[in-house]
Structures are given as structure tokens and as C-alpha cells.
């Protein structure tokens, strides 16, 4: 997720720009995706299928942390990550990512596990 707002946790939803990513095996090709989309069309279930694409994400160096707890309590972990990056002479570049390890429908909020990640690079100057 990326916003023009400094604090991800308090940014208005209207400022969010996000995409859902699902990891797929490396052997999945554009041809496989096209075949799956064609099959969905044939079955009359193609709503949204045309928006799906394959994308490679190469973030490079990142600062990340495992957060355990509800999503609305992530800000202290995000702040700690920013302090760590600053102290290490790094600056954030690119969007904030979250990797959800728990199913919130089956996990108590205090036990939800989320990897928080920021791509970083050495500070200029």
C-alpha cells in the first residue's frame, strides 16, 4: 500500500493505492494465465479476470518486521522500522508492503501475524 500521507495507519482510505499480489510458481507463464482467463470466460465467470496479470517484484534491500497483533496496532512497529532505517543510514523508497500470514477470519486479532516491509536504499548526501 502506498499513500501520500506520512502515517499509513491514519491515512484516509481515499488516499490508498494498492494491489493484491499472490505468489505463483515460476513455471506459470503468460500462456497459462491466458488459458485460465479463456476457461473462466467459457464458464461465464470472467468478471475481473482481465485485470489479472503476472508481475515480477524485485524490491532489493528491505527493512521488515513480523508484527503480531491486530492491523490497527501496526504503527509502533512501522515507527521502529523507520528508526532502524534512519540509524542504519537508509531511506525508504517505494511502497510499503504487508504480507498476511494469518487468516483474520480464523485467528484472534491479538494473534494475527503480518510481515511489514519497506524497500530501502542508502541515504543520498
pLDDT digits (tens, 9 = 90+) for 1-46: 444 445 556 777 777 777 788 889 999 999 999 999 999 999 998 8
Q: What are the tens digits of pLDDT across the range 51-96?
A: 999 998 888 999 999 999 999 999 999 999 999 999 999 999 888 8
Whether residue 113 contacts residue 67, with contact meaning beta carbons closer than 8 Å, is answered with yes
pLDDT of residue 1: 43
Whether residue 85 contacts residue 93, with contact meaning beta carbons closer than 8 Å, is answered with no
Residue 124: band (very low, low, confident or very high) from pLDDT cuts 50, 70, 90: confident
pTM: 0.73
Give the CATH architecture of domain 59-125.
Alpha-Beta Barrel (3.20)
Amino acid at each position: 500500500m502506498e499513500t501520500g500521507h506520512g502515517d499509513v495507519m491514519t491515512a484516509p482510505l481515499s488516499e490508498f493505492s494498492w494491489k493484491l499480489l499472490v505468489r505463483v510458481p515460476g513455471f506459470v507463464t503468460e500462456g497459462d494465465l491466458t488459458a485460465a482467463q479463456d476457461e473462466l470466460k467459457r464458464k461465464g465467470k470472467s468478471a475481473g479476470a482481465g485485470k489479472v496479470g503476472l508481475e515480477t517484484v524485485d524490491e532489493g534491500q528491505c527493512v521488515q518486521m513480523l508484527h503480531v497483533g491486530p492491523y490497527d496496532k501496526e504503527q509502533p512497529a512501522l515507527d521502529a522500522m523507520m528508526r532502524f532505517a534512519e540509524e542504519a543510514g537508509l531511506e525508504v523508497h517505494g511502497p510499503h508492503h504487508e504480507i498476511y500470514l494469518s487468516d483474520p477470519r480464523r485467528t484472534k486479532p491479538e494473534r494475527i501475524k503480518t510481515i511489514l516491509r519497506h524497500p530501502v536504499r542508502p541515504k543520498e548526501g
